[in-house]
Structures are given as C-alpha cells and as structure tokens.
Amino acid sequence: MSRESRRPDPPPGLSRRKFLATMGAGAAAAAVTGGIAPAVYQDGEVMRPEELVKVPLVVNGRTHRLLVEPRWTLLYVLRERLGLTGTKVGCERGECGACTVLIDDVPRYSCSTLALEAEGTRITTVEGLLRGEELGETQRAFVEKDAFQCGYCTSGQIMAAEGLIRANPKPSVEEIRRGMSGNLCRCGAYPHITEAVKRAAELERGR
C-alpha cells in the first residue's frame, strides 16, 4: 500500500492539500504542548519561573517564611537562603546522596526536591541532629568509627543513616547496606560507614 493511499480522506468541501496542512499544524501544536492543553495556558495564569512565591518551611523545628522562585531546589534554599551549608552540593542530579536531608523522617535528595514541594513537611538537616553543642548519636558514631576520609559525603551519609535508624532501630548488616546504597563515597570508606551505622543504632537504643 502506498503512502498516499494510507492517508485519511479529507472531509467534504476541503481539499486534500488544505486538509493535510491542517493536520500538520495540529500535530505540531500537540508536540509542543505534549498533547495537553492545560487550563493555565488558556486563561493566561502561567507562573513565570522567576516570580517569587511565599512559602513557610519548617527546618530543624523552626519555621522560616521565605520568598522563593518555583524552580529553586530545597538544596539551594537551605544553603543560599538559610545558610545551612552542612547539606552539600554534589552531582545535583539525584545520584550521589551528598545533599541528603530528612523530610518527615525519610531520606530525600534535596537537589531533586523543589523547595515548594517541601511545604507542610518537617525538614531535618545535619545541623538539626545536634543536641545543643553536642553531637547527636549518629554523628558521634561516625566519628568513633572513623567513617570518612575527605568528609565531603559525610553529612549525606549521616542523614541517610539517621533516616534508616528512625525507620528500623535495629537494622541488620544487609539492611544497612541496602539503606545506605543511595549514598556514594568516592574514598571507599564503606566498611567503616557500615560499622558507624551499627554503632549509631546501638547509641540510639541506649538513649
């Protein structure tokens, strides 16, 4: 069957040339919009990326009322707007785990989370694990077990460990390895990290 014979017939009163031109324009529009014509495009209420939006964020038990751009990540807001630089910038594409924080006690990559998505949640950074001027249990365990070398990934490792222990107070070695698998250490300190998580769980249970 030829290509011409497969084309649909035009409606009565419309030439084949005009019909095909109309179909081509419709296909182009669908490609640009993803096949969807949302209401926001129709009524002109599209939010520009650079427009500031008011958002309250609860970080380490304290509410911050901020003006943010819709495109800003939680990582950017924590570091550049709140000065909480314990959360590190790594790959910025959700692969290395250096930017891990807890959102409602669950480890999340803050580089892949928009600040606006975190509204109405409890955000915990590595600074939030401190008990006054003293290190928290998980932080202490990483020091005791020498679970770092360069230290750049350590805050993300600690937050992933903290989230794991909050969900599972007595994890097995295999559960620790699975739970920490989303956090990379280029120095290769994984055996020490595993021991640190075991120790942190012990300290948490003892407390």
Looking at domain 48-90+100-125, its CATH class is alpha beta
CB burial class (10 A; 0-12, 13-18, 19+) of residue 88? buried
- Domain definitions of the chain by residue range: 8-43, 48-90+100-125, 130-207
Give the chain's mean pLDDT.
85
pLDDT digits (tens, 9 = 90+) for 102-157: 999 999 999 999 999 999 999 999 999 999 999 999 999 999 999 999 999 999 99
Q: What is the pLDDT of residues 52-88, one digit of tens each?
A: 999 999 999 999 999 999 999 999 999 999 999 999 9
**Separation CA 186–CA 114 (nearest Å):** 26
pLDDT tens for 144-187 read: 999 999 999 999 999 999 999 999 999 999 999 999 999 999 99
Q: Using CA atoms, how far apart are residues 168 and 46, in angstroms rounded to an integer?
A: 43
The Cα-based distances of 180 to 93, 156, 162, 177 in angstroms read: 18, 10, 10, 5
Q: Closest Cα partner for 203 from 123, 148, 138, 114? A: 138
Supply the pLDDT for residue 12: 54
Residues 6+ away with beta carbon under 8 Å from 67:
52, 53, 54, 55
81: Cα separation from own chain's centroid:
17
Q: Per CATH, the architecture of 130-207 is what? A: Orthogonal Bundle (1.10)
Place of tokens 């005009």: 18
Q: Is the alpha carbon torsion for 54, 90, 131, 172 positive or negative?
A: positive
- Nearest CA to 156 among 76, 102, 114? 102
More confident site: 155 or 207? 155
Cα separation, 103 vs 163, in Å, equals 9
The structure's pTM equals 0.76
Per-residue H/E/C for 151-165:
CCCHHHHHHHHHHHH
